[in-house]
Chain A
Amino acid sequence: MAAKRKVTFKIFVFLISTDLLETFAQFCFKKSTTCQSFSGIVTIAQAYLFIKTVIFSPFLWLALFSVLLIFTIWSTILSKIDLSVAVPVASFSYILVPLTSSIFLHEKISSIRWFGIIFILIGVILVSMSTDHKKEIA
């Protein structure tokens, strides 16, 4: 397989939009579950009621639509650049999602958790950067 081209401005915009869409999707997933308070889902009947309520939430469908859009954009990105280059930029959502949660959902995030998030981010970047290039070329 030929070496993949470098990150152009268009690809960069695509990568940023997957970050933003991922954040938007997660925000909508959360919103879809908070339309009604679910004290506990233990029985099948409660699970059924939960699914029924969530399915009728427009937020769920907005989220699913975003996920579909992310999948399409992501496929385009990966046909142009290597996964090891794409993932570190796309992992920006690990910061964006907690930021959105704290601003729009008024969630409290302790400094220990922020440390944890930074470790996860570094870990995800390390996992993706160690792609075996020799295997890819072969």
Chain B
Amino acid sequence: MKEHIFIIIGLIALTDVCDTVGQLILKSSINKINWHINTLKKAIFLIIELLKMPRIWFGFILSGVSLIFWLIALTKADLNLAFSLDSMRYIMIAIASMLFLKEKISNERWFGIIFVVFGIVLAALG
């Protein structure tokens, strides 16, 4: 088990990188449209506008790739370990939003991220 832990962490990191890039694509595409949705009709229009963007489809492909990495990780790891390690997505998404979407991260949120990191280390060691 111990010698596998780095492979498991690597596979789950790949899953979460794919998901993070997917979320960034989705968020930046929605930001670009910048509509205030208050009716169902507007929501449907938003979805149609999004589907016209090629990068949204790249995001869908990434979701599929992410799922494959996740399933391979599950062949090697116990579910409880994999699910705990999967929370590294919160860290990746926070840092990626800061770097690419210029979002601000409050001190409280950094504090939360430190808790998640510490929890992941404990879960991996356990």
Q: How far is the CB of B105 from chain A (nearest CB, A)?
A: 9
A126 at the interface (CB under 8 A from B): yes
Q: Which residue of B lies closest to A67 (CB)?
A: B67
Chain A residues in 8 Å Cβ range of B70: 29
A138-B111 Cα distance, complex, nearest whole Å: 25
B49 at the interface (CB under 8 A from A): no
In the complex, number of A-B residue pairs with CB atoms less than 8 Å apart: 133
A136 at the interface (CB under 8 A from B): no
- Residues 1-38 of A, flagged 1 when their CB comes within 8 A of B and 0 if not, give 00000000000000000000000001101101110001
Mark the stretch among B20-28, B52-60, B83-91 that contacts chain A.
Answer: B83-91
A116-B109 Cα distance, complex, nearest whole Å: 18
Chain A residues in 8 Å Cβ range of B79: 26-27, 29-30, 97-98, 100-101, 105, 107
A126-B94 Cα distance, complex, nearest whole Å: 13
A116-B78 Cα distance, complex, nearest whole Å: 15
Q: How large is the interface on A (under 10, 10 to 19, 20 to 34, 35 or more residues)?
A: 35 or more
Chain B residues in 8 Å Cβ range of A27: 79
Q: In residues 69-115 of chain B, which contact A (Cβ within 8 Å)?
A: 70-72, 74-75, 78-81, 83-84, 87, 90, 94, 104, 106, 108-109, 111-115
Q: Which residue of A lies closest to B118 (CB)?
A: A119
Known: A26-B83, A30-B74, A98-B80. A123 touches B119 (CB 8 A): yes
- Residues 101-138 of A, flagged 1 when their CB comes within 8 A of B and 0 if not, give 11001011111111111111111111111101000000
Partner of B126, one of A94, A101, A112: A112
Partner of A41, one of B72, B115, B119: B72
Chain B residues in 8 Å Cβ range of A115: 119, 122, 126
State how many residues of chain B have any CB contact under 8 Å with chain A. 35
A130-B90 Cα distance, complex, nearest whole Å: 13
A51 at the interface (CB under 8 A from B): yes
A50-B74 Cα distance, complex, nearest whole Å: 12
Known: A94-B83, A116-B121, A120-B123. A41 touches B75 (CB 8 A): yes
> B residues bordering A, Cβ < 8 Å?
68, 70-72, 74-75, 78-81, 83-84, 87, 90, 94, 104, 106, 108-109, 111-126
> A residues bordering B, Cβ < 8 Å?
26-27, 29-30, 32-34, 38, 41, 47, 50-51, 54, 60, 94, 97-98, 100-102, 105, 107-130, 132
Q: Which 10 A-B pairs have the closest CB atoms?
A: A126-B112, A116-B122, A113-B126, A123-B115, A119-B119, A116-B123, A120-B119, A123-B116, A130-B108, A112-B126
